[in-house]
Chains A and B, each alone.
Chain A
Amino acid sequence: MSGHDGALTGSSAAARTLLRAARTATGPRPNPEGAPRQTAVVRQRRFDAVQGAALVAAGLVALPLVTVLWSLTGPYGQTLRHLADTILAEVLLNTLVMCVLVGLGTLVLGVGTAWLVAACRFPGSRQFEWLLILPLAMPSYIIGYAYMDLMAFAGPLQTAIRTTFGVGRGEYWFPPLSGVSGASVMFTLVLYPYVYLLARGAFVEQSACIVDAARALGARPFEAFRKISLPMARPAIAAGVALALMETLADFGMVQYFGVLTFTTVIFRTWFGMGDPVAAAQLASGLLIFVLALLLLEQHSRSQRRFSRTSRRARLLAPYRLTGWKAGLAFAACALPVALGFLVPVAVFLQMQIKGGDAVFSEQFLTLARNSLLLAGLAAAFITLVGALLAYALRVSQAPLTRGAVRFATLGYAMPGTIIAVGVLIPFGLFDNGLDRLMQSTFGISTGLVLSGSLAAVMLAYLVRFLAVATHSVSSGYARIGANLDDAARLLGAGPAEVVRRIHRPLLSRSLLTAAALVFVDVMKELPATLIVRPFNFDTLAVRVYNFASDERLMQASTSALCIVAVGLIPVIMLSHSLRSEENAQERL
């Protein structure tokens, strides 16, 4: 099984038949609870340490979400009725349209560019491999500010048109950048790299033999892509689009600035404007349930299929060499998202920085950068670890409790950071004050607040918010490792830990790296949870941007914005570098 690639499902089914035969030959395996017999060895393990740890982690993460859901038991007040009577229909429509547009946009941009750089060679294709990731470093609120500044009626482009051609308001056409469509374009530009990264990973890891077989059987490039590459990459693509959509649903800063009423804006209007936190939490619960339904739907729609490769690819897919207008088209298709999602906003901020930025090389600024790096680094390590644990639990466990808990724990990515922050504050406050009372009554000492207002609280908020990024990345990596590999290893006498160490870890290295890089960049950009939960005097670059931007001093904000982008580039470049060296190593095999 190790030397060549076989048909996907065929070989793993064959492996299972073999295993079953082996099992029967050696007599019935212990099955004390009388649990239904399962097909693969790895799935037959009972409740064990891994599942226990996964449950604990999921429970910890679920705590703030449960705090939010708890509101559903509360009274349903007049506020919800008012919303239903007035703006709720429009809000739902806006949210839905935005999801559809961002979903389609990230799908087309992400999958298209991923396939171009993975399967084709054209001038610049190697460079685009990493250039295409760059917009990931751009926070959505920052790109929103940049484009609003650039494209507004009072902005430089429209002013230039008016003065050059001597036309007035309404006498010329200019692409309007506002509302749902404008916001969707912004989201697409910064979120497509999620799809790109995961899809490209899937395309690159796909067995060359299968695609070659398709080509040998006369499939044209696009046909091979549509019939073979695309379905095989589907779990990864779905994970990427899900991440992009969840991020879209959670955003507040950009939609607020663009004046779009979405589910998030309504949650905040209800909470802050109408002073009704219960109704706000009930709305947030609705959002949670909506996302859960969406994820289950996607999962169900592919539950009948199994996508995996049977062995480590021995060689890279021979790329299509594009020339002439085809190469030009491919180049343009890859250059456009990089230019719009990265170069243009960076140029806008550079120009602001030159005109009147913040003092960059002050001591304060170094502290901000250090704090941002500290949080992002810690969170990347911690959250990737937990994400890997949960992804592993999903792989080996059939227990509905574990699977359900893991699914639930990853919903936080669709929650606005502010809601998560409050969801963290409440249980931590209860714990701290309970502990304080206990210690005072038994030992006469006051412990005060232990967790509240500490970096641990910030880390938990991040874990709740970004666990999905790590879990989905690792899970989509797992989806490409056939269960038959585990089966074979176990059959050869390896324990579960050895399977993880010798099979999963090397095969997952790309996914783990992707997960860590994504979390790192996400934390660099994160604002609301940091803002609310952080300790005293703990400012980050994102906080600095927010302070200036909410004071409408975009010029000063430009400096920190550029720094977030610059620092966010570090993991992005590291990621692309190590992906490259891994591929080179494989190519030499």
Chain B
Amino acid sequence: MTISANRRQFLAAGAGFGALLAAPSIVRAQTDKVVNLYTARHYGTDDAFYAAFKAKTGISVNRVEAGADALIQRIAAEGANSPVDVLITVDAGNLERARARDLFQPVNSEAIRARVPAHLRDPDGHWFGFTTRARVVYYHKDRVKPEQLSSYEDLAEPKWKGKLLVRSSSNIYNQSLTGAVLAARGEAATEAWARGIAANLARPPRGGDTDQIRAVFAGEGDLAVANTYYFGNLIRENKAEDRPMFEKIGVFFPNQGDRGTHMNLSGAGMAKAARNREAAAQFLEYLASDQAQQHFAETNSEYPVVASVPAPARVAAWGGFKQDQLNAATFAKNNAAALQIMDRAGWK
């Protein structure tokens, strides 16, 4: 009797926790009316896209959103029983890493092969890119003429000392960019380049891509390196306080004279453990459809991968450009080396 209060509380809590354990919260439907996504995309606008897919095919989309590396760990830990059907990431290196860990299965789709250019997909069909984004140079039109700009390499020249804005080397977009320079120039030249970048920074790296662009407009520096869709989305949202910035900020596509502007992609592949294969295949093909391509271009200002689908006017206004066609295996391989180079060069 004396211990009953304590024990009763304890038992109640235990029972509650047991009920939680017993509740099978995993969707293990064998029917092909559902597709389970693990996705590293985190754009709120994608919800509408999933709804559109359901309206078209009757297949509902379940999703877990988290960082790509964490999701890859989760799939690996869950093993053959993992509920995942499709993995989506926002960096080519991550797709290649998932393939190397044997987490994908090939999809033999004529539609995808026909619509997605060869350099944006795995030769064996394990994954493909469905949007691309360019890492470009933003400049303040009052202080920099586009003729003064040429390449990523040029940004490391002493003439830009104290004028450059770019975020931390912890950011994957910068790691990929450095990996691209590494692929083109070799290790020693890339380290010298990274040293030049670090020396030219107007302030210690902080904030995100949008922060760098805003800082150029405010006058903290003259040049910023950032992805295209951040600026595209600012223009799309068209907030009154941002409008003066649209006039003053120019977009420059570097390295048009040689390998082209550095591109990264958002891609997807069918998981090896996939149970809803038919639904997953339909979902993947849908990603390459005109409807989906338009959606990503319109709502998130990304570049479509399907040639016949145009970029939205605000993005197309920056002009056409030559793209660096670096393949994903190089991405995956070079990221680690790139980060080590950035460490040595003092790019925080």
Contact = CB atoms under 8 A, between A and B. Distances in A.
B20 A148 contact: no
A531 B343 contact: no
18 contacts: A86-B343, A148-B211, A257-B206, A273-B175, A274-B339, A378-B16, A422-B70, A432-B78, A450-B24, A453-B26, A459-B20, A494-B2, A531-B70, A538-B25, A543-B65, A547-B43, A552-B211, A556-B44
A276 interface: yes
B67 interface: yes
B150 interface: no
B73 A501 contact: no
Contacts of A455: 20, 23, 25
Interface in B83-108: 83, 97
Contacts of A225: none
A449 B348 CA distance: 41
B81 A546 contact: no
A588 interface: no
Interface in A489-537: 494-495, 497-498, 500-501, 505, 528, 531-537
A381 B203 CA distance: 46
A275 B331 CA distance: 12
A258 interface: yes
Given A154-B217, A257-B207, A531-B70, A382 B339 contact: no
Given A378-B20, A552-B230, A449 B218 contact: no
Nearest to A557: B44
B33 to A, nearest CB: 14
A271 interface: yes
Given A428-B77, A495-B3, A275 B25 contact: no
Interface in A428-446: 428-430, 432-433, 436, 446
Interface string A254-272: 0011110100010011011
A453 B44 contact: no
Contacts of A555: 239
Nearest to B21: A456
Interface of A: 79, 82-83, 85-87, 148, 152-154, 158-159, 162, 168-169, 178-179, 256-259, 261, 265, 268-269, 271-277, 355-356, 378, 381-382, 385, 418, 421-422, 425-426, 428-430, 432-433, 436, 446, 448-456, 459, 494-495, 497-498, 500-501, 505, 528, 531-538, 543, 546-548, 550-553, 555-556
A152 B207 contact: yes
A518 B65 CA distance: 27
Interface residues of B, number: 75
A154 B214 contact: yes
Contacts, number: 218
Contacts of B70: 418, 421-422, 528, 531-532
Contacts of A271: 69
A348 to B, nearest CB: 15
Task: Please give me the 4 A-B residue pairs with the lowest Cβ-Cβ distance, nearest first.
Answer: A497-B3, A429-B77, A154-B218, A259-B206
Given A449-B26, A547-B65, 11 more contacts: A259-B168, A274-B339, A275-B336, A378-B16, A429-B78, A452-B81, A528-B70, A536-B36, A537-B63, A551-B42, A556-B44
A449 B82 contact: yes
A181 B74 CA distance: 35
A167 B324 CA distance: 42
B168 A256 contact: yes
B340 A82 contact: yes
Given A454-B24, A455-B23, A498 B73 contact: no
A343 B97 CA distance: 45
B291 interface: no
Contacts of A158: 218
A531 B13 contact: no
A534 B64 contact: yes
A39 to B, nearest CB: 25
Contact of A274 (B25, B44, B237, B335): B335
B117 to A, nearest CB: 26
A109 B95 CA distance: 47
B81 A536 contact: no
Nearest to A543: B65
A454 B25 contact: yes
A497 B6 contact: yes
Nearest to B213: A154
B209 to A, nearest CB: 6
Contact of B5 (A83, A356, A501): A501
B25 A433 contact: no
Given A500-B6, A501-B2, A550 B44 contact: no
A276 B336 CA distance: 9
B69 A551 contact: no
A381 B13 contact: yes
Contact of A531 (B67, B210, B214, B230): B67
